[in-house]
Structure 1
């Protein structure tokens, strides 16, 4: 049987996400100590550089750095530009994208952690994100609504940022939504809040604002040792220490961007390299097992799990429902402006 086009192209996207373009990246603009990978009006901006949208997007990219240290530096490297273009670029149609460079934990440290672990390295990365967020609010936001967008390590940074710097603060009123993909957002069991965020709920309506969309994608039932979909039993010291909940009173939030009210099976629309594919459908799993977005349809089973089945289709989390996410941001932007 011939591999369906969607599987072939989406599998190719995995290679793009883990490889660097062999081209020189133009320098990113810096002000107030922040190096911006993406910012409105920037020449050669991998996120598009739009500056006329009524709202902003603040994007924190996933683990992508190919540097050989534990923490990356502030270089706007080719691999960062690649992943930003694929994940954040499509949102440029609806928002002005701001994306700070932060000293993230590198791919090398993720798969071969140093003897002392990476907790301190996570703390350093998180502080960079906080500093960039404060710079953005003080010098660039101008009172506009903002969508937070993260994936993987970026989502874990934003979980702590919302918990520590946004929820319960005046800036909470400017939160259009948060797309926290591939990072296990926690809620109280049977609730849409009460985990990571006391007052920022899961999105249950297309035009709802001030809410969170979160999921991790799999094309088959996650294995028992899955990396995603279960509340951690102990404090997660691989993240920013002491800021996030854990234990049996919580569950991982899964919101199907194509079926927010019920999280039921619905068509999803993948976007890779500017091409849209509409052969897939997805639903959120429930019950006592892992809570993940289960993706099915022609070619879904052929999508590789990288580096193994415990990760699911983690590298394609955003791409698999990207048009649905873009459409949601457009609807939420309109609702926020009307409000």
Structure 2
């Protein structure tokens, strides 16, 4: 199996990644030249619909719903918008950043993260998801050079430009949800710093930010604060899923919201509160998939019994083998879907909103 196939299996199948396979792939996918030696791909023009993975005005992967329980795409009637930033789907060594002209990559992004994560929000909001020149996966492992940071800065410049275009042309004063996962959350966290934390007017439009799958501090912002319950608005939530009883050093000490209770306390939440996980096959809904408990900034989970909720294995660091990073959305799909609806309802019920 090629490295691209191994890495694509993260989202396209329920199979676990082999540690040896991912380790060898990471050696291969390191770009061979310095960031400055590459010619970046063309800057995206967000006036062009093709530079969006999801728009509410057309049919796309964000309109889908998993079968079962009568779920529906409610975007035509939704009172809010979600600006969703997808996680890393580019793993190659051709460049430090992806090219939006790569149709194969775009299809992979649409069939994986847009379908299996962004759709969580289509009951509560119109879905806007930009394509962007995402940093290649290796950027997060590049600790000895500035290349990874520069690649992530370039990726963020696109996310920022897309959000500015969204505000100017699509939003029209509507309530906003900010959401992401992994690299997407890395950029969404920065977006909140630049646009919401110090702007009272825009902050009034913020329903909630779902900052999932990356370390976000509980005191990340000057003004914004972590949500304390299931219906609070103008706040942010986040978690990183780890096998019960284990640590995950990269994300320890960050924000951990329990998605079964939507609180920050450390009380264990039983699996019956899990209203439904959706495996990466997107083929079914599994109830009571896992119980949860907040521990040291991590979300402890039981090992899922149904298949389709894979671990994320990182090379050379066996202590990290307990991470369920890939399944952060999948494990709590219905809880997250219903919570987005509840927070939009709470927001629109408040007086003196724009």
TM range (shorter): 0.7 to 0.9
Alignment partners' CA distance in 2, 1:183 and 1:123: 16
1:69 aligned residue: 95
Q: Measured at CA, do residues 60 and 115 of structure 1 come closer, stay the same or move farther in structure 2, by a change above 3 Å?
A: same
| 2:317 corresponds to 1:305 | no
Cα distance, 1:306 vs structure 2:
2.0
C-alpha distance after superposition, 1:152-205 (max 9, x if no partner)? 111010111101211120210000001100111102xxxxxxx21122111112
Cα distance, 1:115 vs structure 2:
5.2
| 2:201 corresponds to 1:185 | no
Q: Higher helix share goes to which structure?
A: 2
Alignment partners' CA distance in 1, 2:227 and 2:204: 15
1:281-320 mapped onto 2 (5 Å cutoff)? 281-286=291-296, 291-296=297-302, 299=305, 304-308=310-314, 309-310=319-320, 312-320=323-331
Cα distance, 1:299 vs structure 2:
2.3
Alignment partners' CA distance in 2, 1:150 and 1:59: 5
Q: Measured at CA, do residues 298 and 159 of structure 1 come closer, stay the same or move farther in structure 2, by a change above 3 Å?
A: closer
Answer yes or no: is the 8 Å Cα contact 2:260–2:335 preserved in 1. Answer: yes
| 2:50 corresponds to 1:40 | no
2:124 aligned residue: 94
Cα distance, 1:220 vs structure 2:
3.6
What TM-score do the two structures reach when normalised by structure 1? Answer: 0.76
C-alpha distance after superposition, 1:195-237 (max 9, x if no partner)? 21122111112111111111100114444x722224xxxxxxx
Deviates more, 1:144-153 or 1:308-317: 308-317
1:58-207 mapped onto 2 (5 Å cutoff)? 58-67=83-92, 68-75=94-101, 77-81=106-110, 82-110=112-140, 116-169=146-199, 170-187=201-218, 195-207=219-231
Cα distance, 1:300 vs structure 2:
8.1
1:238 aligned residue: none
Cα distance, 1:310 vs structure 2:
1.7
| 2:275 corresponds to 1:275 | no
Answer yes or no: is the 8 Å Cα contact 1:57–1:149 preserved in 2. Answer: yes
Q: Higher strand share goes to which structure?
A: 1
Answer yes or no: is the 8 Å Cα contact 1:219–1:301 preserved in 2. Answer: no
Q: Which structure 1 residue ranges, 4+ long, deviate > 4 Å from structure 2?
A: 108-116, 300-304
Q: Measured at CA, do residues 32 and 217 of structure 1 come closer, stay the same or move farther in structure 2, by a change above 3 Å?
A: same
CA RMSD of aligned residues (A): 2.9
| 2:245 corresponds to 1:227 | no
Name stretches of at least 5 consecutive residues in structure 2 with no aligned partner.
1-10, 23-43, 64-72
Partner of 1:280: helix, strand, or coil?
coil
Q: What is the aligned residue count?
A: 286
What TM-score do the two structures reach when normalised by structure 2? Answer: 0.73
Cα distance, 1:305 vs structure 2:
2.8
